[in-house]
Amino acid sequence: MEEIKIALVGQPNVGKSHLINSISGATLHVGNFSGVTVDKKEVEFTRNGYKLKLIDLPGTYSFHPYTPEEKVTKDFLLNVEYDLILNVVDSNQLQKNLIFSFQVADLNKPMVIAFNMYDEYARQGGEINTDKFTKLTNIEAQNVSAKENFGLEELFDKVIKTYQEKNTPRVYYAETIEEEITNVKEKIKEIKFDKRFIAIRLLEDDEDIYKIIHEKPWYVELVSHLKSSKERIRIEFNSDDVKEIFFEERLALAKGIISQMAKKASKEKFSEKIDKVLIHPIFGLPIFLFVMWAIFQSTFSLGAIPMDYISSGFGALGNFIGGLLPNGLIKEAVVNGIIPAVGAVVMFLPNILILFLGINLLEQTGYMARAAYVMDGVLKKFGLQGRAFIPLVSGFGCSVPAYMAARTLKNPKDRLITMLVIGFMSCGARLPIYVLLVSAFFAPSIQGDVMFGIYLGGALTGLIVAKILRVVLFKGEPEPFVMELPKYRFPRLKAILFDLWVKTKMYIQKAGTFIAFAALGVWFLSSFPRVDIVKEYSLKIEQIKSSQFSSSKKQIVKLEEEMNQKILENSYIAHIGKAMAPLTKPLDLGWKEDVALLAGLAAKETVVSTMAVLYGIGNTEDTSKGLIEKIRNSIPFSAAIAMIIIVMFYSPCVAAMSTFYAEVPQMLWRLFYTIYPNVFAYIAAFIAVSLIKLFS
């Protein structure tokens, strides 16, 4: 079957991801924030005997790339083979979008335009005559609504038609400009791009194009012609910047075409009305803080409701499987090792889902960009800019996408600073550890506030560290802050549910595979070597059994517990932990906590599962609640605080670290990133423990 390779381009927030979801039936992530489409997404489907392959490119405002993502799009359009460009346009912002469409049209490739979100536009009384548009520009166009799923089939008909006819755009500028384009074009000899396109880009001072042609033999002759051509345009348009003239030219063109093809929509006041409250000069910041507080509060309080059910469910499961398996090592490994550990991790799934839901809603409704606006003033004081807010907040969900989201920052310094402090925004996987320790050591009435305090404390520390980094290591001004505030949109239930479902599936999968194996490993390391101890105790137990006193049963249980304790104290893992003990003694941490924290470098979930195995909760009925009890009785308050602080600041998991390494090529920064959070965590925990000792 013949394949048509289609590059999907458009400005941010025009609903490209949304459009893809509507075709394939599979819903991908749709957000309102500029730069949600970071990875290259491809969709394949068949229509009329053709295989259509859509490649979703990062949202781009113009061919003068500003962010690394915009550069990705430009590089793709220039250097990769494709058959056709599908340009998605927001019908509600025709003028701004068409300026970019005309830049794309200059490429002189077969091109189709989709006027997306046409449903909203039509509801406000707007109308677009696409036939007229095609007549004026020679670009086939279709009104579509990815949301209400109309126009898509007609769009693909037009895509196929354009492909068959190899139909290219005909968009022309003012006479003087066209004359100079032709003049420059004549001096361009062999090149793989369209000559008119190269001429336009050269007139616009496009450095990427200069780089491509500057080794050509005809370059020198061209440059002198270029100079006089630009001069003539400057004089004609009474302006000193040809690039700006081209922008204005396209704007004028867009205006002209819009006036001929579209009926204006009445202004939508919805977003403006909401903004009157949400980004109010005085109330904006308190509202934002309240929203964040509410998310963490509900993460804790609503998330606690299903906890009991999940934990008793796993308790019952442990007993049930324990009954099925014959006595022996395997039973012990499953009942004492895997099940309580997996149970302890799954118990926190509701908390994590609520947190993700909160962040997701912020993104999908468009509030996230407002939060960046509200926070910009605050972030500026710490040497960052409002845009950095998005990766930072994503960090509360998971550091991996957060590191990727930092790509929206153009300035490498800003990006690096932001990425270096993302780890201080506690990710979802760290939540279970906090929940466990906070539940064990704080009164129920203040637990939610303590949790909020932990997150806020982490975030504030991150900001202060960012400021220090800015002053000490990255001198210079933060990059300019210019950001579109997208319209408020009602979140789509389907997309959100799908997202939560994917999260749930991934979490359970992780708990069932990675965490289970890790728990098995921890169990093994904590149960061996044991031969001598088992021998010693089984002898004692036999003696009691044969003596047949009435208290013998109790004595046996006691002896068994003593045996298990002794095995643990002599186990491999105890040796590891005890080797670390001198280091963490000033922090009041015992070797079990050391081992748990060490395991946390693999994945933060394993901190809780390791504690579950080491504190031997497998024997009790109610697995996870039992763990909270045990921990309350086993470790001092100061150690709990130290542990919380270390988890807040030390290195994130392996997955996050490798993402950072992938994003930051400089070895020196990788090394710095690997070491400094751990040193920082240690010092912070030490200070906290010292303070607690001082005041108690």
Partner 1 sequence: MGECVKNSYFYIKNSSTHYLINYDKGRKMRLNELSMDDIGIIKKIYAKEPLKSKLLSMGFARGEKVKVLKHTLAKNTFDIDINGVNVALRSEEAKEIEIKKTEN
Which residues contact partner 1 by CB under 8 A?
A: 61-62, 64, 66, 92-93, 95-96, 99-100, 241, 243-244, 247-248, 251, 267, 271-272, 275, 279-282, 284, 369, 372-374, 376-377, 380, 385-386, 410, 480-487
Nearer to partner 1, 131 or 272 (CB): 272
CB of 191 to partner 1, least distance (A): 24
Q: Which is nearer to partner 1, 432 or 486 (CB)?
A: 486
Q: Which is nearer to partner 1, 144 or 279 (CB)?
A: 279
Nearer Cβ to partner 1 (339/372) = 372
Between β-strands 84-90 and 111-116, what pairing exists: parallel, antiparallel or unpaired? parallel
CB of 140 to partner 1, least distance (A): 25
Shortest Å distance, C-beta 204 to partner 1: 9
Residue 187 CB, shortest distance to partner 1, in Å, is 25
The one-letter amino acid code at 55 reads I
Q: Which residues of 491-513 are buried (b: 16+ CB within 10 A; e: fewer)?
A: beeebbebbbeebeeebeebbee
Place of tokens 């098995």: 520
Residue with tokens 């998991």, as numbered in its chain: 653
Comparison of 92 and 145: residue with beta carbon closer to partner 1: 92
User: How distant, in Å, are the alpha carbons of 201, 424, 427, 526, 634 from that of 398?
Assistant: 40, 11, 5, 30, 31
| CA atoms of 295 and 449, how far apart (whole Å) | 12
Q: Which is nearer to partner 1, 95 or 666 (CB)?
A: 95
DSSP run (H or E) holding 495: helix 493-510
What is d(CA 353, CA 679) in angstroms, rounded to the nearest whole number?
31
Rg (CA), the chain: 31
- 18 or 487, CB closer to partner 1? 487
Type of residue found at 152: L
Helix (H) or strand (E) holding 127: strand 127-128
Amino acid symbol at 496? I
Calpha distance 646→648 (Å, rounded)? 5
Least distance from partner 1 to the Cβ atom of residue 487, Å: 8
In the bound complex, what is the minimum distance in angstroms from residue 210's beta carbon to partner 1? 14
Q: How far apart are CA 693 and CA 689, in angstroms?
A: 6
- Beta bridge partners, 47, equal 50
How far, in Å, CA of 661 to CA of 15, rounded? 31
- C-beta atoms surrounding 614 within 10 Å: 26
Torsion angle of alpha carbons 595, 599, 600, 604, nearest 10°? -120
Using the minimum distance from each CB to partner 1, give the nearer residue, 92 or 638.
Answer: 92
Q: Alpha-carbon distance 98 to 253, whole Å?
A: 9
Burial pattern 623-659, b for ≥16 Cβ within 10 A else e, equals: bbbbbbbbbeeebebbbbbbbbbbbbbbbbbeebbeb
CB of 481 to partner 1, least distance (A): 5
DSSP 337: I
Nearest CB to partner 1, comparing residues 51 and 264: 264
Instruction: Map residue 565 onto helix, strand or coil.
Output: helix
**Separation between Cα atoms, residue 128 and residue 138, nearest integer Å:** 16
Identify which of residues 385 and 526 has a Cβ nearer to partner 1 in the complex.
385
Q: Name the minimum Å distance from CB 371 to partner 1.
A: 11
- Residue 279 C-beta: closest distance to partner 1, Å: 6
Q: How far is the CB of 360 from partner 1 (least distance, A)?
A: 22
d(CA 468, CA 51): 54
- Nearer to partner 1 by Cβ, of 369 and 642: the residue is 369
Looking at the Cβ atoms of 478 and 600, the one nearer to partner 1 is: 478
CB of 485 to partner 1, least distance (A): 4
Nearer to partner 1, 329 or 482 (CB): 482
Whether cis (ω within 30° of 0) applies to the bond prior to 529 is yes
Q: Which two tokens stand for residue 25?
A: 């039936």
Q: Which neighbouring-strand residues pair with 3? A: 51
Question: Closest approach of Cβ 310 to partner 1, in Å?
Answer: 43
- Least separation in angstroms between CB 180 and partner 1: 20
